[in-house]
Structure 1
Amino acid sequence: MTNTKAFGNAAADAPLKQININRRNPTPHDVEIDILYCGVCHSDLHTARGEWGPTAYPCVPGHEIVGKVTRVGDHVKKFKVGDTVGVGCIVDSCRECQYCQSDLEQFCEKGMTGTYGSPDKHMQGLPTYGGYSERIVVDENYVLRIPENLDIAAAAPLLCAGITTYSPLRHWKVGPGQKVGVVGIGGLGHMAIKIAKAMGAYVVAFTTSDSKFTEAKRLGADDVILSKDETQMQKYAGQLHFMIDAVSAQHDINAYLGQLRVDGSLALVGAPSEPLPVAAFKLIMARRSFAGSLIGGILETQEMLDFCGKHEILPDIEMINIQQINEAYDRLMKGDVKYRFVIDMASLKKS
């Protein structure tokens, strides 16, 4: 065991603070990673505050991890000391079910092992601890390679925000000649705009905020629609091939389903806490589909990283020190970030 500095909380109503955790020593197939940067995801906040069901405490969040390999197990073949690597939302799975065998570990029938908050089979039932820490030890099969041309701090949110938006765009075969809508211009939505544009689509951003019009254009959107303006909403009604909805608050999903053409699909990647009522005729009159999507498997996540490397796609980030995490959570709740916080983990090492 290695004693490790981390930031976590002991209860839903407790702030995050510096604590000590234990990391296992690398087993034959493990990679030990010195964490340099960790992105801050909405999931971190919801889990730490117990808003998505029971949370195992102490909770050490963080699943957008980039760092350097410091040790490898005797049987590791994919990585060596000094490599720049990433760890996303998954650190293990059963590896035997139909979904694991199809590189869809996120849908593992026995349940994937999340980077934080899952039972840790190596640590006698303790929860896994995430990237708000000095180091992490992960099986090589769940470690990812970061393209050399990407800024490693900005690359961290690709491990969640990047794959969460890339996966549905890839699954529904977005490409040239298609009109694609992106609902919500935040941590996920701004990545969806960049990736869909790089795939060759004509991208239409939908926002409830006048202030986001210029921002959406800067990010690469071909057009921007103010969704609270009924006249503007008629411009693409019945024309879009695909839409990705990144809104986690309550909203009228039917207004966006109406933007789809016959056989169009809308994929929800936001996570509203309450059900979204769907009008049946919005679906059946144009054979539309309303679907959801959950991150991506390890193979697809590496594909996403390589795609972002090829097209030089990175999220817009704001760097913070770990000591600012509680303030960052409060700002995240207000949408006061453009568009992803990234923690400089050197601030933890120096504390």
Structure 2
Amino acid sequence: MTTKAYGAHAGDKPLEPIDIARRAPSANDVQIDIAFCGVCHSDLHTVRSEWAGTRYPCVPGHEIVGRVSAVGTGVSAFAVGDIVGVGCMVDSCQRCSACDEGLEQYCENGFVGTYNGRTKDAPGHTLGGYSQRIVVKDAFVLKIRHPVAQLAAVAPLLCAGITTYSPLRHWKVGPGKKVGIVGIGGLGHMGIKLAHAMGAHTVAFTTSESKREDARKLGADDVVISKNTAEMKAHAGSFDFILDTVAASHDLDAFTRLLKRDGALCLVGVPEHPHPAPNIAPLIFGRRAIAGSLIGGIAETQAMLDFCAEHGIVSDIELIAAREINDAYERMLRSDVKYRFVIDAATMGAE
């Protein structure tokens, strides 16, 4: 079946309206009419071949919310009319130790990305959510329990939400813990909301004085301007956990010095150029750690969506028409969005 989409044919070409083919649902497939798709910085990196291995035509989008329009004969968990989501993965090997533990994001044979992942379907790789419709294996479809009026703002939870929720849960963030969130962007603003909702004393780090009040409105108990040496020094040795969402190369030592003994600095932003090598002395002498985290498995992503529905958490978004996507990319590069663009899929085909 043919569906309208926005995609690029080369790294130096803009996104443009294209027609793509979707497979007919097989026994374990769910067909989804897409309502909204969030715009992630990973989309831009992939479309523009800033990361190696982009396959064209490239249709990005892995923050998908929509309504089920058909199900395969073997599907029992979903029915036509259900409101559902699809995140960063649409398949994995389902037989390695990671998959057995519900950690499909760490599949030892490589998970299949919602876009740019290898597949038997034409054109040989997955095409993502900048489109009107998608067909996904039922095991990788998620239930959405938020009110219908919030669905556009729910879409970024499928990447930005789970990317921050997973490490916060893994490092047992909660009451009695002091937690730092570095960066107030698409990921960081979700990290602040989630850490606050989990009951932690939440401190936001930003290089911009102008974001101090915004961070407090998002739920930060305190805000530190990371360029201010005195403000940073005042928090030395006091954090149980710091989540670093910044996707640009920067000095990690400034944050490892803020950790308590046994504290951890977790990185979720992937910089274009490597971070400067950290000083290992604060790690050794404080048994501190620098770690990383990648999205979450399907079960954890469902838990995140349920947690956010229960606590009334959604992303702060700017809703755009599909034809505005190239301008949105340029604005995203300038950090000119609070805090996530979301495409209204109803505008597909309305050039």
Secondary structure of 2:31 counterpart: strand
Q: Aligned letter for 1:303?
A: A
1:141-169 Cα offsets, whole Å, 9 max, x none, are: 00000014361110000000000000000
Q: Is the 8 A contact 2:17 2:349 kept in 1?
A: no
Partner of 1:45: 44
Q: 1:257-336 counterparts in 2 under 5 A?
A: 257-276=256-275, 277-336=277-336
TM-score, normalised with respect to structure 1: 0.98
1:199-226 Cα offsets, whole Å, 9 max, x none, are: 0000011110010101101101000001
TM-score, normalised with respect to structure 2: 0.98
Secondary structure of 1:211 counterpart: helix
Partner of 1:136: 134
| Counterpart-to-counterpart distance in 1, 2:119 and 2:216 | 44
Q: 1:137: Cα distance to partner?
A: 0.1
Q: 1:53-92 counterparts in 2 under 5 A?
A: 53-92=52-91
Q: Aligned letter for 1:295?
A: I
Q: 1:29-178 counterparts in 2 under 5 A?
A: 29-121=28-120, 123=121, 126-149=124-147, 151-178=150-177
Q: Aligned letter for 2:17?
A: Q
| Counterpart-to-counterpart distance in 2, 1:285 and 1:13 | 48
Q: 1:152-231 counterparts in 2 under 5 A?
A: 152-231=151-230
Q: 1:212-251 counterparts in 2 under 5 A?
A: 212-251=211-250
CA RMSD of aligned residues (A): 0.9
- Unpaired segments ≥5 residues, structure 2: none
- More divergent stretch after superposition (269-278 vs 63-72): 269-278
| Counterpart-to-counterpart distance in 2, 1:324 and 1:89 | 23
Partner of 1:24: 23
Q: Is the 8 A contact 1:7 1:133 kept in 2?
A: yes
Secondary structure of 1:256 counterpart: helix
Q: Is the 8 A contact 1:119 1:125 kept in 2?
A: no
Secondary structure of 1:36 counterpart: strand
1:279-321 Cα offsets, whole Å, 9 max, x none, are: 1112111100100000000000000000000110111000000
Q: 1:54: Cα distance to partner?
A: 2.0
Secondary structure of 1:4 counterpart: strand
| Counterpart-to-counterpart distance in 2, 1:167 and 1:161 | 10
Q: For this pair of structures, how many residues does the alignment match?
A: 349
Runs of 4+ aligned structure 1 residues displaced above 6 Å come to none
| Counterpart-to-counterpart distance in 1, 2:51 and 2:146 | 36
Q: Aligned letter for 1:155?
A: V
Q: Aligned letter for 2:48?
A: R
Q: Aligned letter for 1:196?
A: A
| Counterpart-to-counterpart distance in 1, 2:12 and 2:233 | 44
| Counterpart-to-counterpart distance in 1, 2:40 and 2:239 | 29
Secondary structure of 2:343 counterpart: strand
Secondary structure of 1:285 counterpart: helix
Q: 1:241 to 1:77 in 2, by over 3 A?
A: same
Q: Percent of pairs identical after alignment?
A: 58
